[in-house]
Each structure stands twice: as C-alpha cells, then as structure tokens.
Structure 1
Amino acid sequence: MKNLITDVAGVRVGHADDAKLASGVTAILFDQPAVASIDVRGGGPGIRDGVLLEPVNTVEQVDGFTLSGGSAFGLDAGGGVQGWLAEQGRGFAIGSATIPIVPGGVIFDMLNGGDKAWGRFSPYRDLGYAAAAAASEDFALGSVGAGLGATTANYKGGLGSASAMTPGGITVGAIAAVNAIGSVTVGDGPWFWSAPYEQGDEFGGCGLPAKFTPEHLKIQLKGAAAATAENTTLVAVVTDAVLTKTQVKRLAMLAQTGFARAIYPVHAPLDGDVVFAAATGKIAVDPLAGLTELGAIAANTVARAIARGVYEATRLPFDGAQPAWRDKFGSTS
C-alpha cells in the first residue's frame, strides 16, 4: 500500500495549480460510479451538489469529487472535471443525455499573497479540467492542488492523504485539503494532535509532549478572531466496502470524528468543514459492528491525512508567507 487514497482500487487523483495564483484544484475520480454521501459540520460551507448526496435524494452514485481553492469562485472547478468526464462518456444517463456527477467543496485561500486578479472569469474551470486529465494512482502531497494556497493558525496548510485496512480486509483511504482556522499541532511545537494514530513516521514520528501545559492548550486562531471566514478543511473518504447511500452517510459522519482528533479548534461558525464519502462496492461488510469498525478506522485515517497535509507542505514564495512545519523542524523523510 502507498498510504494514499488510491490504495482503494479504482480511485485516481490529479492536481492542477498555478504558482502565481497560489491556488489550485484536486480531482478524485472513480473508474466506475461510486455510491456517495456527505457530512457537513462547518458553519460556512461552500459546496457543489451537496444536497444531491443526502440519502433522501435520488441520485446514488457519483463519478468523482472536486476539492478546490478560490472560495466560491472555486466551485467552477467542478465544471472542468465534469467536462473531462463527459469527453470520456462518463455520467448519469437520462435518455440520450449523459451527465457526469461531480460534487465538490472549496477552501478560502484568497488572501495568501497570490494574484487573484483574473478578470471576468476565474481560472478554476480550466484547473479542474487539467486536474482530471492528470489523475493517476500516484500523486504528490503538501503544497499542491487544492492544498497549494492552504494555511492554518500557525503553519502552512496543504494536501494530505492516508489509507488503512480493516482486520477483515476492507480498504479505506482519505484525502484532505487542510486550511483550518485552528492548529494541527500542539502549540507551536513539532507534535501533531493526530500523533496517537500515526503509522510509522508518516508525519515526523514526534509523538506528543511528555506533559501538556496551559500554553499547549491555548486556542490559536488564524490571523485574528475576525478572520474566521478564511478557513475550511475538505476531506474525501473512500472505501471498497459494499454500502448503501444511507450507510455511506453514516461512514461520512463517523469519519468526521477525525477532524476533532487532528485540529484544535474545529468546526467554527464560518468554517466550511465537510466530508465527502464514497463506496466502490467490492467487499461486503456487517451493517452494524462492521460499519462501526470501518468508521472508526476511517476517522483515524482522516486524522492522519490532515497531519500529513501540514507535514508535507512548503512555504509559499511571497513576502510574509506563513512558515511551513518543515521550515522549523526539518523532515524525517
């Protein structure tokens, strides 16, 4: 296993970004349509086709997900991914029409030093198309794609991913664009809140501090309290289990627990925090104990993906840009 969401067979990921813009797009594509749902905990989400994913609504399967920078402008990225899929003949068939289904979410990265003066139309549709065209089983982490312009309260945010397998052989993977209002580390030290769930040294192997102090538990907010509109963590979780749309909804809810294990504080009033979840339908799972176990492991995997996004990030090349974790603590990889 590569410790990526693409360890789930039939999943591919592609990035497209623009250094001058300091923003980008990440596309998660499925070789075959996957049953999907959503869980939203942030108070200010920016989502495309989110309501479609609720179990009470008709369409059950999607062709991919899109994660994008650009705040509400970034919702255009889904059209680019949709356009690429349409060229491949992918989508939901209605008579002679075929409509690719590509829900997605956006982060706010508009004040990170990049040039956002793009004129009449934003570049995100073209970036979405390029990200879809670039999708493969191998992809980069850190300051790439939707994570290029991401920040947190103290260190540069980024794009992270992780995977795991249940004792019964079901694979689950997560991908995260980490642009949190809070901190992914304990204070300003090297320790990640996700440390209890770390596998190997995937985000530095620093563990937790020997003793927690009031300074460690002091709440850090990005910029200032008034800057809470600038934040969101987007996650997609995918498994090869056989699940109904209602069960995928429950998986998304369970997986959202990983946010609280990785970010402090989280789910603020103007955060856009969301989990997209999908099941490719390969391996049967017990609907009660089995789904609970899968959800618990998914939450751990989300926490790991969030930490990896910050651990792998690099500083933007602008005056006053936020430092990366590696600028201060180096790298163990």
Structure 2
Amino acid sequence: MTPGPQNAITDIDGLKVGHAQDDALKSGVTVLTAETPFAASVSVQGGAPGTRETELLAPDKSVAQVDALVLAGGSAYGLDACSGVVAGLRAKGRGFRVGNAIIPLVPGAIIFDLLSGGDKDWTDTPYPTLGRAAFEAATDHTDIGTIGAGTGAMTAMMKGGLGTASLSLGNGITVGALVAANPMGSVTTPGDRHFWAAPFEVDGEFGGLGPDPTTGLGRSLDSRKLTAMLERANTTIAIVATDATLDKAQCQRVAIAAHDGIARACVPAHSPGDGDLVFSVSTSARPLTSPQDLTLIGHAAAVCLSRAIARGVFAATPAPDDLLPTWSQLNAQT
C-alpha cells in the first residue's frame, strides 16, 4: 500500500473538499461532497457526540445515499453549517426528490472549539454562512493544518488541526481519510516530540522522527488543554472513504474499523468527554475484487486516519491569542 498522488482523501476520484474559516472566530467548517450522491454510514464511539441526521446512515434506514458530509467547529451551533450546505446544494438542483420538492441530505458532526480563544460574541450564528462558503469552495484537493473544521482544534498538549491521508491498495482500490483532530488525549508522547502514530508514518509526512524509544508510555494524562479549558471540550471527527463499491452496512463496518486509527493516534481516545465519530463513504466506482477486500479497506482506513491525525497536528500554524502552542513551536529548538 502506498499513498496516492496527493496523499489526501481527494485521491479518490470524484470527491471534493471545501473549507471556510473565520480567523477572528477561531473556528470553521469543512465539507466533503461530490457531483453525484454517495453511499455513507457512521460509527460513533465517543461519549459526547454532536451530530445531525446520522440516523439516516444506519444500514436499516431507507436513504441509500447522501449529497455531502460536514465537519464543523462550534459545538451545537456548528450543526447549523449543514443548513448552509443544504442551501448550496438546493441552489444547484441537488437532493432527494419527493414530487416537486428537493431535499439535499447532509449529515454532519461537530467539535467543541467554543473556548479556543476566538471571538464568540456573535448575534447571529456564523455557521450557516461558513457551511455555504465551504461547500462553494470544494475542489479536488485539500489543504491541511489550521484550516476549516481544524481552525480552533486543540489536543491535550498542543494545537490540533485538519488532516488527510490516502493509500492505494495495489488492486485498484483507493482509501482516504479526512479528520478534524480535537481530542481530549495527546497525539504525542511525553515531551511533545514523537507522535503516537509514528509507526504508521510514510515518507516523513509528519516529521520523520520515528517512534518514541522510551518504554512504559501511556501511564499519565498530562494535559495543557484541561488546564486551560474544560474536560468536555473535545472530539475527533473524521471521514474515511473508498472508491470500492460498498453498501451502507459495509460502509458502517469500515467506519468501525477506522476507529482503531483514532485509538492509535490519540491517547486516550473514545473518552466520556470526546464525541469521537467516523463517517464512511463509498463512491462505488470499483467492484470488490475478493472476499478479503472489505477487511483490507477497513485496515487501510484505520492507518490513513492515524496518519491524517498526526499530519493535521504537525501542519498546524500559530495565530494570535492561541491557548496552546503548535507542534512546530514546541519543537523549534530540538
């Protein structure tokens, strides 16, 4: 398995990603969409999720495909970003048709970044506008770091961010991940230098420092974030995708498997105060080639997600009034 040309979820043909953020707000929105609807499901493993229309994605529900997925900051306010995306889709005549009505289907999930240090003293929530702007900005590539839904993200010890990664499986199938990393846990081992995800790194994509040689790790829960904020101000939300043809039940199985990627990159993960969630998408462009393909796709999704988390944090950039330093600031002298 090797990364795709962009090492991004947009290596999957047809998928587009758009971002919008307000630097004064220290928050933003990321949208994944395509020219045609796609199959999707979801797995929620955190104890404090914030979601919209995720029940549609259960395998026993009648909706087979959706038009877009939204990752947003803003906690409950950020769910309104989906309304902006719905408006953008409707303007393009996109959505589920019922008689003369058009209903765009846009599930979404949020991270908590209301205490990120930005100006949150708004009168009207900015998230519908940010959602529409992110949808309109969608292209077949994506930047990473302090952008979109990752703008106000923080990990236990440093700024979080928006990350992505991909893998080509060698049988024609591609898998990718997109994530807003804002976990309660740390993404680096004690000392802030080595990433927990280091064993899965490819070609120095987040510093090339390798695994921490120290043993006995994971026995403390040091957190600058908890000191500066609150225990429930967390969540890692992600989308994993493939061009393999999967139904909703198979998408859900891939989403479940992909949660291993969060657990390998964030310590601890899936806590009562995290809303850890993974959407899973299939563009159905390629048939499965063997009974083992679904297992391989789930494994690749988990590996991509670990790498995407580390890449997003590694690429984070400093901004005025940040509550936590970036990885690059912490490691500037090492």
Fold shared per TM-score above 0.5: yes
Query: Are 1:154 and 1:188, in contact at CA under 8 Å, matched by a contact in 2?
Result: no
Alignment of 1:64 onto 2:68: yes
Residue number in structure 2 paired with 1:218: 220
* Alignment deviations for residues 51-85 of structure 1 (CA, whole Å, 9 cap, x no partner): 11111111010111101000000000000011111
2:171 to 136, 159, 168: 168
Q: Distance between the aligned counterparts of 2:229 and 2:143, measured in 1?
A: 33
- Say whether residues 1:324 and 2:326 are aligned partners: yes
Retained in 2: the 8 A contact 1:187–1:217? no
- How far residue 329 of structure 1 moved from its aligned partner, in angstroms, is 2.0
Task: Tell me if the contact between 1:69 and 1:107 (Cα under 8 Å) persists in the aligned partners.
Answer: yes
Q: Give runs of aligned pairs for residues 101-250 of structure 1, distance below 5 A.
A: 101-119=105-123, 121-213=124-216, 217-221=219-223, 222-224=225-227, 227-250=230-253
Alignment counterpart, residue 28 of structure 1, candidates 29, 32, 35? 32
Residue in 2 that maps onto 1:39: 43
TM-score, normalized by length of structure 1? 0.95
Q: Deviations over 1:172-199 (max 9, x none)?
A: 1110001010000111331111111111
Structure 2 distance, partners of 1:56, 1:287, is 25
The whole-number CA distance in structure 2 between the counterparts of 1:142 and 1:162 is 13
SS at match of 2:102: strand
Structure-2 separation of matches of 1:149 and 1:243: 33
Distance change (3 Å), C-alpha of 1:48 and 1:228:
same
Aligned to 1:77: 81
**Whole-Å Cα distance in 1 between the matches of residues 212 and 50 of structure 2?**
36
- Deviation >6 Å, runs of 4+: none
Identity %: 47
Partners of 1:226 and 1:123 in 2: CA distance: 23
Q: Deviations over 1:273-293 (max 9, x none)?
A: 100111000111157411001
Aligned residue for 2:92? 88
SS of the residue 1:85 aligns to: helix
Q: Which runs of 5+ in 1 are unaligned?
A: none
Instruction: Give the Cα separation in 1 of the matches to 2:291 and 2:221.
Output: 37
SS, match of residue 10 in structure 2:
helix
Greater shift, 226-235 or 100-109, is seen at 226-235
Q: Are 1:228 and 1:268, in contact at CA under 8 Å, matched by a contact in 2?
A: no
Q: Tell me, in whole angstroms, the C-alpha distance in 1 between the residues paired with 2:290 and 2:309.
A: 27
Give the secondary structure class of the aligned counterpart of 1:229: coil
User: Relative to 1, partners in 2 of residues 1:268 and 1:287: Cα closer, same or farther, differing over 3 Å?
Assistant: farther
Which among 7, 10, 13 is matched to residue 11 of structure 2? 7
Q: Which amino acid aligns with 1:328?
A: L
CA 1:125–1:287: 2 relative to 1, 3 Å: farther
TM-score by length of 2: 0.95
Q: Secondary structure at 1:227's aligned position in 2? A: coil
Which residue is equivalent to 2:307? Answer: 304
What secondary structure sits across from 1:230 in the alignment?
coil
Q: CA deviation at 1:95?
A: 1.4
Of 32, 54, 58, 1:54 maps to 58
Q: Secondary structure at the match of 2:309?
A: helix
Q: Which amino acid aligns with 2:328?
A: R
* Alignment-mate amino acid for residue 91 of structure 1: G
User: Which consecutive unaligned segments of at least 5 residues does structure 2 have?
Assistant: none
Asked if residue 280 in structure 1 is aligned to residue 303 in structure 2, the reply is no
Q: Is the 8 A contact 1:316 1:322 kept in 2?
A: no
Q: Is the 8 A contact 1:71 1:109 kept in 2?
A: yes
**Deviation of 1:314 (Å):** 1.3
CA-to-partner distance for each residue in 1:191-248, whole Å, 9 max, x for gaps? Answer: 111111111011111111223245x642234315992210000100110000111111
Give the distance between the partners of 1:228 and 1:170, measured in 2 at CA. Answer: 40
Q: Using the TM superposition, name which of 202-211 and 256-265 deviates more.
A: 202-211
The 3-state SS of whatever aligns with 1:56 is coil
Give the direction of change, closer, same or farther, for the CA distance of 1:281–1:234 in structure 2 (3 Å limit).
same
